[in-house]
Amino acid sequence: MKIAIGSDHAGYSLKEVVKAHLAEEGYEMCDKGTHDTRSCHYPVYAEAVGKAVQSGEAELGILICGTGIGMSMAANKMKGIRAAAVSDCFTAEATRKHNNANILCMGERTLGPGLACRIADIFLTTAFEGGRHQTRVDMMMELERQ
């Protein structure tokens, strides 16, 4: 499975840890930057990962900033993107099963590397349940047209 990953400066170190962990597990990682800890603007990387998911270049995306919040807000402005800011294992599973989230957002300032890797593992291995949740996801995506 191909995964697009990106971060700003505040998420760079955790991005490198999560990227290495997932590559070790056999995922094909497509790193959209940033590539160091110099101050930068998170919407740039939210857009790059969002485009990779929109185009099908990557099946799912991961975005990391200080909190995961700015990245999720920015990515959710893009058509077809359902980005979830996650900081626990239960939510990682639920947002795939119920919301069909296609981008996982996490915060380097709020999560340790072990938990972040576990959250990423759960997010990437949990399937959307469809059924009644598909109806709700369709309704949510319809809001993009307003």
How many residues make contact with ligand RB5 (CB under 6 A)? Answer: 8
Q: Name the segment binding ligand RB5 (CB under 6 A); options: 60-68, 84-92, 112-120, 131-139.
A: 60-68
27 makes contact with ligand RB5 (CB under 6 A): no
CA separation for the pair 65, 127 (Å, rounded): 25
Q: Name the segment binding ligand RB5 (CB under 6 A); options: 51-59, 64-72, 83-91, 137-145.
A: 64-72
Q: Write b or e for each residue in 56-86: b if 16 or more Cβ atoms lie within 10 A of its Cβ, otherwise e.
A: eebebbbbbbbbbebbbebbbebeebbbbbb
| Sign of the alpha-carbon dihedral angle for 51, 54, 58, 61 | positive
Residue nearest to ligand RB5 (CB): 70
Active site residue 133: no
DSSP tally for the chain: helices H, then strands E: 6, 5
CA separation for the pair 76, 90 (Å, rounded): 21
CA separation for the pair 63, 7 (Å, rounded): 5
Active site residue 40: no
Min dist CB 1 to ligand RB5, Å, is 26
Which one of the listed residues 9, 65, 105, 117 is annotated catalytic? 65
Q: Name the segment binding ligand RB5 (CB under 6 A); options: 17-25, 46-54, 61-69, 111-119.
A: 61-69
Q: Give the residue numbers annotated as catalytic, written as ranges.
A: 65, 98
Residue ranges that bind ligand RB5, judged by CB under 6 A: 8, 10, 42, 65-67, 69-70
